[in-house]
Structure 1
């Protein structure tokens, strides 16, 4: 039953979500064993969680560095206009921008950028700077990345 804070999950739902975040390739049989349910009952639960929008998809976690992108940076963009089409067009044609967040505060957007090197980062940030003022912070290291989200109680 939904609430104003989202979908209400029971302990089995929470366990399934945790297991799938740990290993999205777990079979229904393995998931069922983890929550002491049959594979068919587990499939029903997973389908319900998907239909409710709790589970939104399955992806592989890959190493950006292994794929040739050793530099990560966060770019804050002060966007001077309410016409977001130029930004959306740039995002659609710049695959190195892997996250974009519209935020409150002095900057309008925070973008996560991956680059092959410093010249590549300069090229990408140059394209972004054509839209507004930017501030770039290069990532030294990431002591916490991709933490699993625990369902609220």
Structure 2
């Protein structure tokens, strides 16, 4: 987006991150715009790629995947091909997210499984690519909330 986001854009983003299915009339009421102006703003944010899509938040336990873990993968070294790992990640629906990172670990993955044995199967599949470290998630202290409008007095 060539121009920066204004306070109204940020308000729209905040509301849609809370409820992506909100009617334009309700969204307009919450951000103090007309429904047509709100709809135009949303379309502009979509066209600019700021709003990249809409998703349902799914309760993992209720879908039969109560185990949530973070798996860190350290690749063996320079020159290692990453394409075989990418193929495995595409095939395994248990991998919810994968981030390529700097530091000791090359990848950080969020994984959900039906059981500890199922998690062990996933970790074993990943271990063919390098050493792994696995942490079980006990609870979500701060669920994903998306970006918010920067404050003028924040550092960084």
Taking structure 2 as the reference length, what is the TM-score of the superposition? 0.90
Indicate which of 23, 29, 35 corresponds to 1:33. Answer: 29
Report if aligned partners of 1:22, 1:148 keep a CA contact under 8 Å in 2. no
Confirm or deny: 8 A CA contact 2:75 2:129 kept in the other structure.
Answer: yes
The answer for unaligned runs of 5 or more in structure 2 is 152-156
Match of 1:19 in 2: 15
Distance in 1 between the 2:24 and 2:43 partners?
11
What's the CA shift for 1:82? 3.6
Stretch of structure 1 that moved more, 84-93 or 138-147:
138-147
1:1-39 Cα shifts (integer Å, max 9, x gaps): 63xxxx511121111111111111111111111122221
| CA root-mean-square deviation | 1.4
Partner SS state of residue 72, structure 1: strand
Instruction: Give the structure-1-normalised TM-score.
Output: 0.91
Higher mean displacement: 125-134 or 72-81: 72-81
Q: Following superposition of structure 1 onto structure 2, how do residues 67-106 of structure 1 map, counting pairs within 5 Å?
A: 67-80=63-76, 81-106=79-104
Aligned pair 1:109/2:107, yes or no? yes
Q: Structure 1 51/82 Cα, relative in aligned 2: closer, same or farther at 3 Å?
A: farther
Q: After TM superposition, where is structure 1 displaced by more than 6 Å over at least 4 residues in a row?
A: none
- Rounded to whole Å, the distance in 1 between the matches of 2:31 and 2:74 is 47
Cα deviation code 1:70-119 (max 9, x no counterpart): 11111110112441110111001111011100000111000111010010
Deviations 1:115-143 (A, max 9, x none): 10010001110100011111111112221
